[in-house]
Amino acid sequence: MNGNNRADIRVGARVKVVQKQDQRTGHVTCGVVQAILTKSGTHPHGIKVRLEGGIVGRVKEIF
C-alpha cells in the first residue's frame, strides 16, 4: 500500500519513509509512525510523518 492517502496511515503503523536528504537517491527508512504531519487528505509525493526517534519523511509504503 502506498502512502498517498492520509486515511490509510495510523499512529503506531510500520512504514517506509524517504527523508528530505534522501529524495534524490530514494533511500528508505523503516519505522513506526509517531505523528502524522500532513493535514490534507492526499499528497502526490506521500503523507509526511514523524517516526518514533524523531525522523521526518514522506511515506512510500505501509506494512
pLDDT of residue 36: 98
Tell me the per-residue pLDDT of 54-63, one tens digit each, with 9 for 90 and over: 999 999 999 9
pTM: 0.92
Tell me the per-residue pLDDT of 22-59, one tens digit each, with 9 for 90 and over: 999 999 999 999 999 999 999 999 999 999 999 999 99
Cell numbers that stand for 26 in this block: 530514494
- Report the top-level CATH class of 6-62: mainly beta
Kindly list the domain boundaries of the chain, sorted by start residue: 6-62
Mean pLDDT, the chain, integer: 96
- How far CA 41 is from CA of 10, 27, 29, 33, 51, in Å, comes to 13, 25, 23, 17, 19
Cα 11 to the center of its chain, rounded Å: 11
